[in-house]
Structure 1
Amino acid sequence: MSLAVPVAISFASPLAFLALLLVPAILLLRSAAQRRARRHAVRFPGVPVLAGVIGHEPAWRRHLPLAVLLAAVAALVVALARPERTVAVPDERASLMLVLDASRSMEAEDVEPNRLEAARRAALAFLDKIPERVRVGVVGFSDRPYTVVRPSPDRTPTEGTIRSLEPVGGTATGDALQVALDALPRRPAVGSRPPTAIVLLSDGQATDGVDPLVVARRAGAARIPVFTIALGTPDGVVPGGPFGGSLPVPPDPETMREIAAISGAEAYEVDDAERLKEIYERLGAQLSTKSEQREITVMPAFAGLVLLLGAAALGVRRQGRLP
Structure 2
Amino acid sequence: MSFESPWFLLALLLIPLAVLAYLAAQRRSQRYATRFTNLEVLAAVMPGTSVLRRHLPAALLLLATAALIFGLARPHRSVAVPREQATIMLVTDASASMDAVDVKPSRLAAAKESARSFTSRVAKEIRLGLVTFDESATLVAPPTREHDTIRDGIDDISSGAGTATGDGLSTALEAIRRDGAGGRGKPPAAIVLLSDGKTTYGRDPVEVAREAKRRGIPINTVALGTDEGVVQIGPNTLAVPPDRETMKEIARVSGGRYSASRNEDQLKDIYARLGSRLANETEQQEITAAFAGGGLLLLLAGGLLSLRWSGRLP
TM-score range, shorter chain: 0.7 to 0.9
Within 5 Å, which residues of 2 pair with 1:173-184? Answer: 173-184=165-176
- Report the alpha carbon displacement of residue 47 of structure 1 after superposing the two structures with TM: 8.0
2:131 is matched with: 139
Distance 1:210 1:290 in 2: 32
- Are residue 197 (structure 1) and residue 190 (structure 2) matched? yes
| Contact 1:225–1:263 (CA under 8 A) maintained in structure 2 | yes
| Contact 1:97–1:139 (CA under 8 A) maintained in structure 2 | yes
Alignment partner of 1:294 out of 281, 285, 299 = 285
| Contact 2:128–2:150 (CA under 8 A) maintained in structure 1 | yes
Q: 1:194 to 1:56 in 2, by over 3 A?
A: same
Runs of 5+ unmatched residues, structure 2: none
1:215 is matched with: 208
| Contact 2:165–2:202 (CA under 8 A) maintained in structure 1 | yes
Distance 1:219 1:321 in 2: 69
| Contact 2:197–2:240 (CA under 8 A) maintained in structure 1 | yes
| Contact 1:12–1:83 (CA under 8 A) maintained in structure 2 | yes
- Report the alpha carbon displacement of residue 316 of structure 1 after superposing the two structures with TM: 2.0
Distance 2:231 2:26 in 1: 90
Alignment: residue pair count: 312
- Root-mean-square deviation (Å): 3.4
Q: What SS does the aligned partner of 1:184 have?
A: helix
Distance 1:101 1:23 in 2: 60
- Report the alpha carbon displacement of residue 137 of structure 1 after superposing the two structures with TM: 0.7
1:5 is matched with: none
Q: What SS does the aligned partner of 1:321 have?
A: coil
Q: What SS does the aligned partner of 1:92 have?
A: coil
Q: 1:112 to 1:263 in 2, by over 3 A?
A: same
User: What amino acid is aligned across from residue 57 of structure 1 in structure 2?
Assistant: T
Distance 2:28 2:200 in 1: 92
Q: 1:264 to 1:317 in 2, by over 3 A?
A: closer
Alignment partner of 1:62 out of 38, 54, 69 = 54
1:255-274 C-alpha deviation (Å, 9 max, x unpaired): 33333333233333322111
Q: What SS does the aligned partner of 1:322 have?
A: coil
Distance 2:52 2:204 in 1: 76
Alignment partner of 1:254 out of 234, 238, 245 = 245
2:300 is matched with: 309
| Contact 2:138–2:171 (CA under 8 A) maintained in structure 1 | no
User: What amino acid is aligned across from residue 239 of structure 1 in structure 2?
Assistant: Q
- Report the alpha carbon displacement of residue 109 of structure 1 after superposing the two structures with TM: 1.1
1:4 is matched with: none
| Contact 1:147–1:161 (CA under 8 A) maintained in structure 2 | no
Q: What SS does the aligned partner of 1:208 have?
A: coil
- Are residue 156 (structure 1) and residue 145 (structure 2) matched? no
Q: 1:313 to 1:280 in 2, by over 3 A?
A: same
Alignment partner of 1:266 out of 253, 257, 263 = 257
- Report the alpha carbon displacement of residue 20 of structure 1 after superposing the two structures with TM: 4.6
User: What amino acid is aligned across from residue 212 of structure 2 in structure 1?
Assistant: A
Runs of 5+ unmatched residues, structure 1: 1-8
| Contact 1:108–1:236 (CA under 8 A) maintained in structure 2 | yes
1:102 is matched with: 94
User: What amino acid is aligned across from residue 64 of structure 1 in structure 2?
Assistant: L
Q: 1:30 to 1:204 in 2, by over 3 A?
A: closer
Q: 1:55 to 1:260 in 2, by over 3 A?
A: closer
* Deviates most, 294-303 or 131-140: 294-303
| Contact 2:190–2:218 (CA under 8 A) maintained in structure 1 | yes
| Contact 1:140–1:162 (CA under 8 A) maintained in structure 2 | no
Distance 2:134 2:185 in 1: 34
Q: 1:298 to 1:137 in 2, by over 3 A?
A: same
Distance 2:122 2:195 in 1: 22
Taking structure 1 as the reference length, the TM-score comes to 0.82
Q: What SS does the aligned partner of 1:98 have?
A: strand
2:272 is matched with: 281
Distance 1:35 1:269 in 2: 63
1:204-262 C-alpha deviation (Å, 9 max, x unpaired): 22222333333223222223222222222333233333xx3434333333333333333
Taking structure 2 as the reference length, the TM-score comes to 0.84
| Contact 2:183–2:216 (CA under 8 A) maintained in structure 1 | no
- Report the alpha carbon displacement of residue 180 of structure 1 after superposing the two structures with TM: 0.4
Identical residues among aligned pairs (%): 48
User: What amino acid is aligned across from residue 151 of structure 2 in structure 1?
Assistant: E
1:233 is matched with: 226
